[in-house]
Amino acid sequence: MSTKRGMNKLVSGPDEAVKDIFDGAVLTIGGFGLCGIPENSIAALVRKGVKNLTCVSNNAGVDGFGIGLMLEKKQVKKMVSSYVGENKLFESMVLNKELELEFTPQGTLAERMRAGGSGVPAFFTATGAGTLVAEGKESREFDGRTYILERAIISDFGIVKAWKGDAMGNLVFRKASRNFNPLCAMAGKITIAEVEEIVPVGSIDPDQVHLPGVYVHRLFKGEKYEKRIERKVLRAVGGQI
């Protein structure tokens, strides 16, 4: 099956994919820790030197890798995240007021992006009610329980990593690397996807498409994935590791 005219979303590589990301842009960046992060796109953003970014991502990678590379170059103005723990630079920048941080509970963060991609401007959730998370937010009671209003997230660019994709932008993620990637893609006004393998249009069973191409605007084949292990844990078997 060939792509219809105007439906081919392939670009030459990461530098072309991110060429119009501007200073001050809001980015939703896929991945969980170091699992399923768009390594090539992040490297291209570092080369480009774009600054004052707001990055919405579960966390900020680790020191020297992932979004951590962008923190080193002082490219990020604000992080919207649910976790800090694995990145000492991230932690120190927040404590020294070099970086704004909006802490968001993990499930709320996921739903805020899903809502943004679904045309839902806001929603009520019980998560965070009665805590610092609720400060400055509207609250209401439903069936005797307090809920707080959370606004949807819509980014200027969604940047994600998938396992396979076709020229029309249909994506398949591999196992746990699906994590936040589809939600980050949905939330982006313009979504950039890097994939490990480009496959012919029509070769992905429609029932196996994890993210339809309607959400993807640019696609390229990534190269040289490092795929680091964030925290290696070994279990003794028979008294040996």
CATH code for the domain in which residue 201 is found: 3.40.1080.10
- Region 121-142: what's the mean pLDDT? 97
pLDDT tens figures, 97-126: 999 999 999 999 999 999 999 999 999 999
In this model, does residue 4 exceed pLDDT 90?
no
Identify whether 8 is part of a domain: no
Tokens of 124: 């009520």
Place of tokens 């219809």: 4
Cβ atoms < 10 Å from Cβ of 91:
16
In this model, does residue 30 exceed pLDDT 60?
yes
pTM: 0.92
Identify whether 233 is part of a domain: no
pLDDT tens figures, 79-89: 999 988 788 99
Parent domain of 81: 14-221
Tell me if 182 sits within 8 A of 114, measured CB to CB. no
Number of domains in the chain: 1
- Region 29-41: what's the mean pLDDT? 95
Residue 80 burial (CB < 10 Å; 0-12/13-18/19+)?
Answer: buried
Tell me if 195 sits within 8 A of 219, measured CB to CB. yes
Identify whether 232 is part of a domain: no
Nearest to residue 51, comparing CAs of 28, 70, 31? 70
